[in-house]
Amino acid sequence: MATFAPDTKIRSDLTRAALVDKLVPVVGEAYVLHRREQLAPYECDGLSAYRSLPLAVVLPGSIDEVCEIMRVCSEHGVPVVARGAGTGLSGGALPYEHGVLLVLSRFNRVLSIDPANRTAVVQPGVRNLAISEAVAHLGLYYAPDPSSQIACSIGGNVAENSGGVHCLKYGLTVHNIVALKVVTVDGELIDVGGPRPDSPGYDLLALMTGSEGLLGIVVEITVRLLPRPATARALLASFDNVESAGAAVADIISAGIVPAGLEMMDNPSIRATEDFVHAGYPVEAAAILICELDGTAEEVQDQVEQVRDVLRAAGAAEVRLSRDEAERARFWSGRKNAFPAVGRISSDYYCIDGTIPRRALGRILSEISRLSEAYDLAVANVFHAGDGNLHPLILYDANKPGEFERTEALGGLILEACVAAGGTITGEHGVGVEKINQMCVLFGERELEQFHAVKAAFDPAGLLNPGKAVPTLARCAEFNAMHVHHGQVPFPDIERF
């Protein structure tokens, strides 16, 4: 376990008891948690390596209550971190030690469905999958589908701009929402976005999406719905080496085909997954690709033949086509369960989230393999290969002294390799606390100054999710002096990318 020490130091004059006294009249005693045993379940999100206890956890049940909570906290200078289902993997919902954790799990209703305009209005605590379940009888669904969709909340998806296996064709969260209701730091309710195709002024909807709770508290979301495709088929291709599989990804896109999903797994993840869910994966393969095509029956049949030819030309040892819906679901069951499958073979794992140009897949895989060997830590690789979004899973044992620190250093180098290849440090998990140092590699001083200016426009006192996502210039100066310029760095014997 590690303790995150944010550069931002904010501490209200209110004691815990005084803060609780001000919050109880707003939401009721049952929804203000302040004893240690009550706070412990909220000490981390999915990035469990970092933990922290807030002064209090408050669970509002209405927008008015959220507004009043923010007024109280703003008036007394109390930091606020918003949290949804807690499935995030970058520490974005890690509590601030001297602040309030605002939990939106009671905001769990689908408020309205508009089939004619293919939209639904939902609260932020609604599970991602529950949206599609609520509109299935209308032949509609919500497209972004993170692997955690059975548990993750739509509010968290907005905060991190989440994607999923179908984001290649249908886009990320930002492409599938229409409007937001947001509570500002001083307790005002504002509307962002709307049903019009264009409107004057700045695009605040895009700005809010992926802002990781630094600019406001999202309390209502209008999502875009899509009609279920008439036909969907999946191909599963196995390869004798990961470089050929990576090249096949680029070849498919170069052929002018945009699959609904295009995923890649290497041998360690194939073996772990097959042992867990028995999806029928070829366990001797160095890598597999899962390519889903959807649309009309004629369109899908034509694309199946094209993709099959591309895969064979790229060197696929075997290409299977799903025979029916059950087999298509089985192909995807392995990919959807890759993370828990790896969790069965390692006491701990650390999930990285970087994005690279598709042409760099083979190069980055080779670099990950080299770093894995140098750090003596196994890595299982799972990719949203179609859009270059990598999810290397570093296997480690948190009970071994120093092993998490070595794991964290390896993860940082993988992200920096993504940047060096022309990519970025996150595709869908956000920055949170996990990647904050790598923000110093990705952006220069002038860009970071603009990020801080935007933050200050919405939150002048810096009370919303302090210490996350955007590093201070002082932090970057120190990190770059030590790391980029080959000064005193962790594990200096390891060759950099």
- The model's pLDDT over 230-281, given as tens digits with 9 standing for 90+, comes to 999 999 999 999 889 989 999 999 999 999 999 999 999 999 999 999 999 9
- Which comes out higher in pLDDT, residue 490 or 284? 284
Asked if the model's pLDDT at residue 486 lies above 60, the reply is no
CA 325, CA 231: separation in Å to the nearest integer? Answer: 10
Identify the residue whose tokens are 């390869």. Answer: 239
Could you tell me which of 301, 136, 124, 302 has the C-alpha nearest to residue 213?
Answer: 124
Burial of 256 (0-12, 13-18, 19+ CB in 10 A): exposed
CA 196, CA 190: separation in Å to the nearest integer? Answer: 17
Task: Give me the pLDDT at residue 198, please.
Answer: 76
Task: Give me the pLDDT at residue 489, please.
Answer: 47
pTM for the model: 0.93
Task: Give me the pLDDT at residue 485, please.
Answer: 47
pLDDT digits (tens, 9 = 90+) for 380-410: 999 999 999 999 999 999 999 999 999 999 9
Could you tell me the sign of the dihedral formed by the alpha carbons of 329, 426, 424, 397, in that order? negative
Whether the CB-CB separation of 467 and 433 falls below 8 Å is answered with yes
Task: Give me the pLDDT at residue 495, please.
Answer: 53
Could you tell me which of 334, 247, 328, 233 has the C-alpha nearest to residue 282?
Answer: 334
Could you tell me the sign of the dihedral formed by the alpha carbons of 391, 340, 93, 218, in that order? positive
Whether the CB-CB separation of 73 and 187 falls below 8 Å is answered with no
Task: Give me the pLDDT at residue 358, please.
Answer: 87
Query: Band of the pLDDT at 442, cuts 50, 70, 90?
Result: very high
Sketch out the chain's domains with CATH numbers. 16-103 (3.30.43.10), 110-227 (3.30.465.10), 231-340 (3.30.70.3450), 346-484 (3.30.70.2740)
pLDDT digits (tens, 9 = 90+) for 178-215: 999 999 999 999 999 998 777 788 999 999 999 999 99
pLDDT digits (tens, 9 = 90+) for 47-92: 888 999 999 999 999 999 999 999 999 999 999 999 999 999 999 9
Computed over every residue of the chain, the mean pLDDT equals: 94
Asked if the model's pLDDT at residue 494 lies above 60, the reply is no
CA 290 to chain centre: 21
Q: How far is CA 126 from CA 93, 104, 129, 218, in A?
A: 17, 10, 8, 12
Share of the chain above pLDDT 70, in %: 96
